[in-house]
């Protein structure tokens, strides 16, 4: 279970980069817990891995379940893995999915999305 949001006042925003190697060792539920704990600590996480659509839906669900007066939810963005049709068929056969890409996620009270498209993202971290 993800921890409660940190109440300690911070002087800045910590940005945590998590490598593909570290993520590769983890099951999705563990990654979800890692993300939720990180955002509730008011960190911005940059994961060297993309989530697929089902995983993103789980991330939204989880953040909604954890929402309360102190934690209004998350903002996330990233670059998705762009597998071609051969890779998609291989995934259906083998279950091994390409995860290259990027995920940036943070609590919505410190992270604001400015603009996003397939190839570019800009965000503002609010320092209060």
Partner 1 sequence: MLKKLKRLLKDLFGKKDEIKLGIYGPPNTGKTTLANRISKEFTGEEMGSASEVPHETRVVQKKEKVRLQSDGKEISMNLLDMPGISTKVDYKEFVDHGIDEEEAKVRSKEATKGVVEAIKWLDKVDAVLVVFDSTNNPYTQVNVTILGNLEAKDIPIILVANKTDLDDAEPESIQDAFPQYNFTEISAKENENMANLYKKIIESV
Residues that bind partner 1 (CB under 8 A): 52-54, 56-57, 60-61, 63-65, 67, 69, 72-78, 80, 89, 108-109, 113, 115-118
User: Least distance (Å) from partner 1 to the CB of residue 49?
Assistant: 15
User: Least distance (Å) from partner 1 to the CB of residue 25?
Assistant: 25
Sign of CA dihedral 21, 27, 30, 31: positive
Distance CA 72, CA 43 (A): 14
Distance CA 49, CA 35 (A): 12
For residues 60 and 124, which CB has a smaller minimum distance to partner 1 in the complex? Answer: 60
User: Least distance (Å) from partner 1 to the CB of residue 21?
Assistant: 25
For residues 25 and 115, which CB has a smaller minimum distance to partner 1 in the complex? Answer: 115
Phi-psi group of 78: left, alpha or beta (phi > 0 → left; psi -120 to 50 → alpha; rest → beta): left
Residues 77/118, Cβ–Cβ less than 8 Å:
no
For residues 26 and 62, which CB has a smaller minimum distance to partner 1 in the complex? Answer: 62
């Amino acid at each position: 279970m993800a921890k409660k949001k940190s109440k300690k006042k911070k002087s800045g925003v910590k940005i945590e980069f998590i490598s593909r190697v570290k993520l590769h060792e983890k099951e999705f539920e563990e990654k979800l817990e890692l993300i939720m704990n990180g955002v509730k600590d008011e960190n911005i996480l940059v994961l060297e891995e993309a989530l697929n659509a089902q995983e993103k839906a789980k991330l939204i669900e989880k953040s909604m379940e954890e929402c309360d007066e102190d934690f209004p939810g998350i903002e996330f963005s990233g670059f998705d893995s762009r597998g071609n049709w051969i890779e998609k068929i291989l995934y259906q056969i083998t279950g091994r999915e390409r995860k290259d890409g990027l995920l940036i996620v943070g609590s919505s009270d410190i992270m604001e999305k400015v603009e996003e498209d397939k190839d570019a993202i800009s965000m503002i971290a609010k320092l209060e």
